Structure 1
Amino acid sequence: MKNKAFIVGAYEHPTRDAIDIPLAQLHAEVAAGALADAGLSLADVDGYFCDGDVAGWDAPGCGPFSMVEYLGLNLRHLDTTESWGSAYINHVAHAVQAIEAGKCRVALITQAGRPRAERKSPAQMHSEQTQSAYEAQFELPYGPVVTNMYGMVAARHMHEHGTTPEQLAWIKVAASHHAQYNPNAVLPKVVTVEDVLTSPIVATPLHRLDCCVISDGGGALVVVHPDVARDLDRPKITPIGAGFTVKHLNGGYFDILASGGVKSGAAAFAQAGVTPQDIQYASIYDSFTITVLVQLENLGFCAPGQGGRFVAEGNLIAGVGRLPVNTDGGGLCSNHPGNRGGMTKLIEAVRQLRGEAHPAVQVPDCHLALAHGTGGQLGSRHGSATLVLERV
């Protein structure tokens, strides 16, 4: 993938409560921001990527058709591959493939959501999207929601590996140390392990502060052909490895602690020709603290069962640990727009590679970064996307 296409524009919407901004307008504003960052305009866009959620949690109305019309785009290529929170990381890989195949030269990827303004929780979102699924008749009587599914994964990790609530809490502590430097973070206050453990239990063993924020906003990226990038005065960030897979229950024959990241990460590293130890910065999906812990192990940053010790040693904290993670505060403290965190993971990875992260959390001479997303639920069916990015 290296040098086949370049990310030249990135923008994250500053709002976290879009009470007076319609969903389509959020898409328009993040698109304008990313294109301005790249030095391009809507007239330059000939490829558009957004989710295909028919429920309207991201692209409103008729989804991509409504957004193409709203933005006034004149397209040659459209991609609405839907994999929930991992979709946008997957879209970057698809944009590179489309550009290499000659289907487009300037690809725009947008994401937006306003569950906070609409007062809808992730549990409501999941319920609305899954009630008509074939498996619902077998699962819904047992009351699965987002929180207790992740609580089950955390409980299993503790049972198998002796992981403690204190170790999980260090993931929130790291996120808060980063969020204090983000003026747009929902939760900018630094917290302690004790703060996490004394917050109310939501789904045993997860506390309230083990859970991500509910927020509005969104973001956009611009991916372009090398010829276009050559004419732009922007840092050149190129995807060099990508992986995607769908993990499901396999009729009950599955490992609850092995996410799709096992396969998507291995594929991305193999294509990039690098190892986890080469990565200088990682954006890792953090819907819950246990999400980060499982994916750190699944992606190979530490051995299975060693994630608790790894995070408790402060390894995720910029300037302290060996693998700074989510230096914008992540979904745990800063932003989880539309209950989908993949886009913000990409944007912070781009900031790090450009040297544009806050000075207090910027990784020195960062030239190799990873973004990983999970769409759906650990412990159940989900999509995992991994992308390795390089500054050239």
Structure 2
Amino acid sequence: MTGFPRAKTAIVGAATFGMGEAPGLSSTDLAGQATVRALADAGLSLGDVDALFIALPSEPLSGLSFAQYLGIEPAITENNRSGGSSFQTHVMFAALALDAGLCNCAVIAYGSNQRTGTGKLVSAAAPDPYEAPYGLRLPVGAYALAAARHMHDYGTRPEQLAEVAVAARGWAALNPDAFLRDPLSVDDVLSARRVCDPLGLLDCCLVTDGAAAIVMTRSDRARDLRQPQIAVLGAAQATTHFNISSMPDLTTTAAARSGPAAMAQAGITPNDVDVLQLYDAFTINPILFLEDLGFCKKGEGGSFVEGGRIAPSGALPVNTNGGGLSCVHPGMYGLFTLVESVVQLRGQAGARQVEGAQIAVSHANGGFLSSQATVVLATEDAA
């Protein structure tokens, strides 16, 4: 995308709510609480909101229903759903709308009560008539196919996938909001019950409740608000398919397009990134995204994560809240990568804080490795 308004808009509020289990609350309730908290974080109120970006899991017209729930009458509502990448796409369009003067204060929110409401992952995808006869268990089967192909093509080993889960648990141990904080070893991951070969139970994301919200405005207005502004330097999305059987290459995702586009807008390279938040629905995801975003060459993702490289004290801090594997995964995880990026860049992450973090990349995945979206954020000094 050309003409992206680099550093002209900023995230000024961020919050989570109901992480893990929130019995008795609907998905809308959870998103509402996160929204109010994010606005309070920014020093704003519901009366300031004139743009609403929302993708509730069971509400096809959530742009309308959530506005009514909040008691607001926004000029813009957006209900794009591309799976977990929806929220990075929302950031992209919110930045464009703010820069164009179509709105002044945009809220991006999500909530889900999947754990206490249903006890399992709820997918919006209808069975595909061409894939369904083969009995592929989704979504895990799609990611297992990608993992198996990566192993076949590049020699990636189960132990390397396990390193991703172990690193996530290491970060989660430092995060009091994380759902799972107990110690985890590579052997634990490898010995866990198989779900869809080559992926076992601990290669798969959590099923939790949870909500998140962020608030965006123009940079000139952001300077007058409560929190340090976090500049949006770049944002891009790309899509290659929907069903996994139509993916052009099981080992290369559309992150190979969205990542370089967002980084070019931002004027950075992977070497400039201090913290990296990746959508880790399964352990193969970060390996694919590290390659496609340019942090290592194609086929080298498995070796890249060895030796605790993405764990606490490693060379590249990845998923510093514990990710979808150990922190939270209420159906769609993408917005949580944005909140964690903001917390890190503000220096408010407590025991898991990455010292001197100034540039963050938040990358999310939707569908069956189908939609990829990347956002580059920075402190005001680094912008």
Q: TM-score range by the shorter chain?
A: over 0.9
Deviations 1:27-59 (A, max 9, x none): 2100111001000000011111112xxxx625x
Matched, 1:221 2:217: no
Aligned to 2:304: 310
Deviations 1:245-289 (A, max 9, x none): 111179857111111101101111111111111111000000000
Aligned to 1:230: 223
2-structure distance, mates of 1:85, 1:251: 20
1-structure distance, mates of 2:245, 2:17: 41
Deviations 1:82-135 (A, max 9, x none): 11100011111111100001110100111001111122533xx33x5313xxxx
Matched, 1:129 2:125: yes
Matching residue's letter, 1:22: S
Q: How far apart are 1:77 and its partner, in Å?
A: 1.5
3-state DSSP of counterpart to 2:175: coil
Change (3 A) 1:253 1:6: closer
Indicate if the aligned counterparts of 1:30 and 1:219 stay in contact, CA closer than 8 A. Answer: yes
Indicate if the aligned counterparts of 2:240 and 2:247 stay in contact, CA closer than 8 A. Answer: no
Aligned to 2:11: 7
2:362 maps to which of 366, 371, 377: 371
Aligned to 1:69: 68
Indicate if the aligned counterparts of 1:172 and 1:289 stay in contact, CA closer than 8 A. Answer: yes
Aligned to 2:35: 31
3-state DSSP of counterpart to 1:138: coil
Deviations 1:113-169 (A, max 9, x none): 1111122533xx33x5313xxxx2211111231111111111111111111111110
Structure 1 gaps of 5+ residues are: none
Aligned to 1:350: 342
Matched, 1:41 2:45: yes
Aligned to 2:371: 383
Matching residue's letter, 1:376: G
Matching residue's letter, 1:356: Q
Q: Provide the aligned length of Structure 1 versus Structure 2.
A: 374
Q: How far apart are 1:16 and its partner, in Å?
A: 1.4
2-structure distance, mates of 1:342, 1:250: 20
Aligned sequence identity (%): 40
2-structure distance, mates of 1:116, 1:14: 11
2-structure distance, mates of 1:251, 1:23: 31
Indicate if the aligned counterparts of 1:262 and 1:299 stay in contact, CA closer than 8 A. Answer: yes
2-structure distance, mates of 1:242, 1:387: 4
Matched, 1:362 2:353: yes
Deviations 1:142-199 (A, max 9, x none): 1231111111111111111111111110101101111112222121112010111111
3-state DSSP of counterpart to 2:305: helix
Change (3 A) 1:166 1:36: same
Q: How far apart are 1:61 and its partner, in Å?
A: 6.9
1-structure distance, mates of 2:222, 2:247: 47
229-238 or 157-166: which moved more?
229-238
3-state DSSP of counterpart to 1:109: strand
228-237 or 209-218: which moved more?
228-237
Matching residue's letter, 2:278: I
Change (3 A) 1:21 1:309: same
3-state DSSP of counterpart to 1:108: strand
Deviations 1:65-94 (A, max 9, x none): 111111011211122121110001111111
1:300 maps to which of 286, 294, 300: 294
Aligned to 1:142: 134
Indicate if the aligned counterparts of 2:9 and 2:232 stay in contact, CA closer than 8 A. Answer: yes
Matched, 1:195 2:194: no
Matching residue's letter, 1:95: A
Aligned to 1:107: 106
Indicate if the aligned counterparts of 1:318 and 1:362 stay in contact, CA closer than 8 A. Answer: no
Deviations 1:309-335 (A, max 9, x none): 11012110132x221011111100010
Aligned to 1:263: 257
Matching residue's letter, 2:353: Q
205-214 or 13-22: which moved more?
13-22
RMSD over aligned CA atoms reads 1.6
Indicate if the aligned counterparts of 2:212 and 2:335 stay in contact, CA closer than 8 A. Answer: yes
Aligned to 2:80: 81
1-structure distance, mates of 2:32, 2:140: 32
2-structure distance, mates of 1:244, 1:238: 18
Change (3 A) 1:276 1:117: same
User: What TM-score does the superposition give when structure 2 sets the normalisation length?
Assistant: 0.94
1:243-262 to structure 2, matched below 5 A, reads: 243-248=236-241, 254-262=248-256
2-structure distance, mates of 1:247, 1:355: 36
3-state DSSP of counterpart to 1:372: strand
